[in-house]
Structure formats: C-alpha cells, structure tokens
Amino acid sequence: MIRIAPAGRVLAVAAAASLALTACGGGADDTAASQETASSSAPASSAPAAAKGDGTLTLGTVLPQTGSLAFLGPPEFAAVDLAVKEINEAGGVLGKPVKAIHTDSGDTTTNIASQSVDKLLGQKADAIIGAASSSVSESIIDKITGAGVVQFSPANTSDKFTTVNDNGLYFRTAPPDKLQGRVLGDLVVADGNDTVGILAMQDSYGSGLADQIAKTAEEGGATVVERVDYDPKAAEFSADVTKIKAKNPKAIVLIGFEETSKVIQELVKQGLTADKHKWYMVDGNMSNTNYLKMPKGTLKGVKGTIPGAEAPDAFRERLLTVDKELEDYTYAAESYDAAVLIALAAEAAKDDSGASIAAKLAEVSKVGEKCKSFKECADLLKAGKDIDYEGLSGPIEFDDNGDPAVATIGVYQYGDDNKYPGKAEEYRTGNIAG
C-alpha cells in the first residue's frame, strides 16, 4: 500500500470539482445458465420510446473470455453472477427471476463482440453489460442502443462516450481516463521524476490516456522526453523500447493490455529495469496473473492506477463462492453495481424494456433514501419510496451523459511476488460537472 501526503497535488487534482468525467477502457461460458440481473439507464427525456417489456428482465453480458483483456473477464462475470444470484434470492425483478446470458467480447482483432451482440439481441436481452474495452464498445454501441437496449459498461473509460450518440441508452460505472490520467501524472511528479518516457498502445484508450498523463506531468514540472505509441499486435517491441532507452527517463509509464508482458520483457532485456527506473502502469495492464512467470521481483515497487473503489474484503469472499479461482478483482465491484442498478431501474419503472430502464437509472442512483443492497433498495421501492443506491464501487450518481458524477481512483503497488496487494490508496472526486 502506498501513501501520498494529503496535501499532495494528486489528491488536489482528484478532488477538483470541475473535472469532465468521461469513460473509456479498455470466464464464463456462452451457454451459462439463466440467472437474475440488472440494467443501465439514461435521462428519461433522451431514451427512445419503446414497447413494454415482456415481464422478464433478461441481462446479457459481452465481456472478455478471450483476447487482450481476458484477465478482466473472470471477476466481471463472477460479479454479475453474484448480483443475479442475490437479486433472485430477494425475489427477482417484477416478481420473476432475472435471466442472464453470458457471451464473449474478444478484442478488436476479431468480430466476436458483434456476433455476441447479435446473439443477445436475438434472445431479447433488455440490457447488455460490457464491453470491458472501450474500442470494443465503440464497435458495438450503435447496434445495441439502436435496438433500444441499454448498454452498461463496468470498465469503459474513454472520453468519447460522454458525447456519443447513444439514444440515452449508454451508461458506465467506471470513471474516465481523463481523471485516471491526472492522478497518475501527478503521482509520477510527486515521486520526484522530472523526466518521463511513455509507451502506449495505439488506440483510443492508450493514446487518450497517454495525452492526459503527459499533460499533467508537464504541468507539474516534468518533461516527457519520449513517447512511443506502438501497435499492440506487434510480435515484439525492441525498437519501441530502444527509443525510450535513448532518452534515459527516470520514469517509464506503460499503457496497454496483455501485450505489456512482452514490453516488460524487452525493458528488462535492454536494462531498463524497475529498480533503475520507476515504472507506472494503468488499469488495462494491472494484473495479478499476467506477470507470475517472470523472475521474482521484476515488478517490485511498480505503481499503478485502477479506476473505481477497491473491492471490499466481504465482497471478495462472496465472489469466491461463485468462482473460487479468482485472483484479480479489477472492475468486479463496477460489474456488480451495473447489474444491481439495472434491476433496480426496472423495478422503479415497473417495466423491463431498455427505454424504461434507461429512464430510471439516474433516478435510482441519486434520488431518495440511501440503500446498499438490491433487497434493501427494492423493499423501499415497493414501499413507494425513492432510492439512492450506494454501490460497492462508490456512490454512483449518473450525470445527464450516463457518466458517474462521483469517482474514485485507486493507487496500487507491486510486491516482490509480481502481484499487487488488495489494499490501495484511494482518491475520490467531489461532484463533477459534465
């Protein structure tokens, strides 16, 4: 666990009231059994008119079972399954069990996500949780929202989603790259680094996050001496790392997905080890599984940021009853909250159609009596009261764009075993305007 002094600039930036929150981001079996689940929401005025639902909330997922973010899949699937289990144990939605259908998102090198969406729409999904990758979500958002179905991502952090034409049907529980970039950029400077090298995957996630980190670091007095935006599908990264080595920066920021393991191997090969240069990572490559085969201590001392609150211990224990093999918990809380919020919105609307769910999502996240579980919140709704769901990932108050208006960024540090412990320093924004 790391500690940055409360007076430090990282905390000040994370608490700024005028940050523009956006979203970006970067298993289970396709034939998973039916279960309970929930859906996302948007402002009532922007959601398209739609026929009433069929009375059974059908929740689909398009999350990574394969591809460059496959390590994020297990905690996300487990969290949705746990939410569905608990929702159904509490009586379901509209008096019926929620039905959950899991599918694979793959990554941008395949057409898997589009095929998965077709399958879910064919099975009359009312809301779809996913994708984890922002680029994948960009490729399927028109198909989902154009069908009148809610798309709710637990992990998208790209700034593009704030202004995307989504018919009021796109929501996310993950805070944006703009915020994560500011926190990480300030962290780099707070650690005493005046020269910085950046290795970023070339896509909307990598390039956008690199832009914000570079801007923040330079505003703090550091100099970005080299930035390399690389092809994540490349077979090797020797030329990219050589460009960084030539400038000999004190800090090296790594922005990517699964391919980061190859980048790290090349850094070590060229002598740019973590004990000689300070490495920093982000949510797309922070993993407790991807680096275990590397020599002990390879990542010791490496720091990284993950949007969202740390998964509480009691929640982790509940997740392990669903998937006892879990080692990563990234975006588990956000996935759980997405499912619960969708279910609560359907209850509040007394209808399971996508448009009805979207029209109530903002309302159940910030209007009324505070409650912390589906059962507690659903009981209040049945008693005729308005609710304010306080989630595991944070307060969760949606703005008019379907973005979280309050956000948390966790800062983690790797140990000698190439894993980061479950405790983090967290930086929470205040209420953030658009």
- Which residue ranges in the chain fall short of pLDDT 50? 1-50, 430-434
Distance CA 126, CA 342 (A): 9
Name the DSSP letter for residue 96. B
Residue 241: burial class (beta carbons within 10 Å; 0-12, 13-18, 19+): buried
Q: What is the pLDDT of residue 428?
A: 66
Q: Report the relative pairing of strands 150-153 and 170-172 from DSSP bridges.
A: parallel
The mean pLDDT of the chain is 87
Q: What is the pLDDT of residue 62?
A: 98
Distance CA 157, CA 49 (A): 28
Q: What is the pLDDT of residue 423?
A: 65
DSSP H helical segments within 248-297, as ranges?
A: 260-269
Q: What is the pLDDT of residue 425?
A: 79
* CB atoms closer than 10 angstroms to residue 235: 7
Which one-letter amino acid corresponds to residue 341?
L
Q: What SS3 state is found at 165?
A: coil
* CB atoms closer than 10 angstroms to residue 325: 7
Q: What is the pLDDT of residue 231?
A: 97
pLDDT in tens, 36-53: 333 333 333 344 444 689
